[in-house]
Chains A and B, each alone.
Chain A
Amino acid sequence: MTVFALIIINKAGGLIYHRTFHEGGLNKISTNDYLVLAGTFHGVHAITARLNPIPQQINRNSASSAGIMTRPEPPSGLEVLESENFRLQCFSTLTGIKFLLFTDTTQTNVDLTMRRVYEMYTDYVMKNPFYQLEMPVRCELFERKLTSYIREVNNR
């Protein structure tokens, strides 16, 4: 069980962070290719989100019976992409930032790992006064905490 890599895409489809944790899991591609991958994934995600525009009927009924107005969940779009050798999990935040986690196909609890990565992003990137929104992430603390967390997950 291994986490191979993490990619963060901003809401405009630009690559703001990419990091490989495990040598040999994925082929090395150039930074330029990463940028193309991010942009392409962003487009595909946008299209898949358009494919399921009908909100779930059950949720709406239970909400109206309780008398509370709730906003329907936005269509999530592409969530998982699986190939023979890796599994790509996508998590899209409410603000439109996408976290892509490349893992082994047997990896379990990816949701949990994703949640923790998102927490670290909110702590060490969003609370950092030197980070500019939508720009590439260069935060030493984020880097350090992420490394130690993923190492822990990979050694589990």
Chain B
Amino acid sequence: MAHLAPNKPSSGKESAGLRYPTNGKTIYHRPLNRSKTAELSQASFAYLFSEMVSYAQRKVTGIQDLEKRLNNQGHPIGLKLLDLLLIREPPRSQARPLNIITLLHFIKINLWQHLFGRQADRLEKSSDPEAQDEYMIIDNEPLVNAFISVPKEMSQLNCAAFVAGIIEGVCDGAAFPARVTAHTVGTKDEGEMWPGKTVFLVKFQPEVLEREALIGKA
């Protein structure tokens, strides 16, 4: 790791890969809580996200493939955010979520608050008895889709697959392996009011439910 030592700033030509600021202070030297309440420009995010979607679209084979790629872009963010958000909690609630409900509440409240400045709109459990492993996080107007109009021929696509990837990262990091997908719901009655309403379907792996059942018994 010697070559990564930040107190040895290398001149531009030597370091082809990682670059350090001239004072040797990287992002890792900053206190974790400093940017806790910082806000970013939505316009710059919109342009960045637009490029991310275009990048994911290159040589893509289909809509599922594109959603998978967006999901993969979000996954590492989720893994890291879990640690960051927990460490920012007050010490008594710093433990990572231990059951499904606390995990989902953590996502709905803390994660959403951190990413979008507000909570998710609803949290639901699937009413289908066949699908007891499915939970739904509902956002009426996802921030990532604020400026995106999906063309008709790709109507299946929802670019919030990126956010689904972040959620998946948080679940995986907390040892609740799950598959998370984003779906646009165009219900007639609510379609007018919230045209971009998105459901994040969280489908946990069978072993998670098995463990949950065992904890419930004890």
Q: Which of B140-188 contact A (CB under 8 A)?
A: 147-151, 154, 159
Q: Which one of B43, B57, B148, B154 contacts A128 once the chains associate, using CB atoms below 8 Å?
A: B148
A141 & B149 in contact (Cβ 8 Å cutoff): yes
6 A-B contact pairs sorted by A residue (CB < 8 Å):
A124-B147, A124-B149, A128-B147, A129-B52, A138-B149, A139-B149
A128 & B47 in contact (Cβ 8 Å cutoff): no
B151 & A129 in contact (Cβ 8 Å cutoff): no
Rounded to whole angstroms, the CA-CA distance of A5 and B163 in the bound complex is: 38
Q: Which one of B49, B57, B147, B151 contacts A123 once the chains associate, using CB atoms below 8 Å?
A: B147
A127 & B147 in contact (Cβ 8 Å cutoff): yes
The 5 closest A-B pairs by CB, nearest first: A129-B53, A127-B147, A139-B149, A140-B149, A129-B50
A141 & B147 in contact (Cβ 8 Å cutoff): yes
User: Does B127 belong to the interface (CB within 8 Å)?
Assistant: no
When distances are taken between beta carbons in the complex, the residues of chain B under 8 Å from A144 are 195
B interface, CB within 8 angstroms of A: 43, 46-47, 49-54, 57, 147-151, 154, 159, 195
Rounded to whole angstroms, the CA-CA distance of A138 and B148 in the bound complex is: 11
Q: Which of A111-137 contact B (CB under 8 A)?
A: 123-124, 127-130
A124-B147, A141-B147 known; A129-B43 Cβ under 8 A: no
When distances are taken between beta carbons in the complex, the residues of chain A under 8 Å from B195 are 144
Rounded to whole angstroms, the CA-CA distance of A111 and B110 in the bound complex is: 43
Q: How near does chain A come to B185, taking the closest CB pair, in angstroms?
A: 16
Query: Which residue of chain A is the closest to B49 with respect to CB atoms?
Result: A129
User: Does A34 belong to the interface (CB within 8 Å)?
Assistant: no
User: Does A21 belong to the interface (CB within 8 Å)?
Assistant: no
When distances are taken between beta carbons in the complex, the residues of chain B under 8 Å from A141 are 147-149
Query: Which residue of chain A is the closest to B196 with respect to CB atoms?
Result: A141
Q: How near does chain A come to B45, taking the closest CB pair, in angstroms?
A: 10
Rounded to whole angstroms, the CA-CA distance of A124 and B52 in the bound complex is: 17
Query: Which residue of chain A is the closest to B47 with respect to CB atoms?
Result: A127
When distances are taken between beta carbons in the complex, the residues of chain B under 8 Å from A128 are 50, 147-149
When distances are taken between beta carbons in the complex, the residues of chain A under 8 Å from B150 are 130, 140
B47 & A130 in contact (Cβ 8 Å cutoff): no
Rounded to whole angstroms, the CA-CA distance of A142 and B57 in the bound complex is: 22
Q: How near does chain A come to B143, taking the closest CB pair, in angstroms?
A: 12
When distances are taken between beta carbons in the complex, the residues of chain A under 8 Å from B149 are 124, 128, 130, 138-142
Given contacts A127-B147, A127-B148, A129-B50, 15 further A-B contacts (CB under 8 A): A123-B46, A128-B148, A128-B149, A129-B49, A129-B52, A129-B53, A129-B54, A129-B57, A129-B159, A130-B148, A138-B151, A141-B147, A141-B148, A141-B149, A142-B149
A127 & B50 in contact (Cβ 8 Å cutoff): yes
Rounded to whole angstroms, the CA-CA distance of A124 and B154 in the bound complex is: 18
Most buried by B among A123, A130, A139, A141: A130
When distances are taken between beta carbons in the complex, the residues of chain A under 8 Å from B148 are 127-130, 141
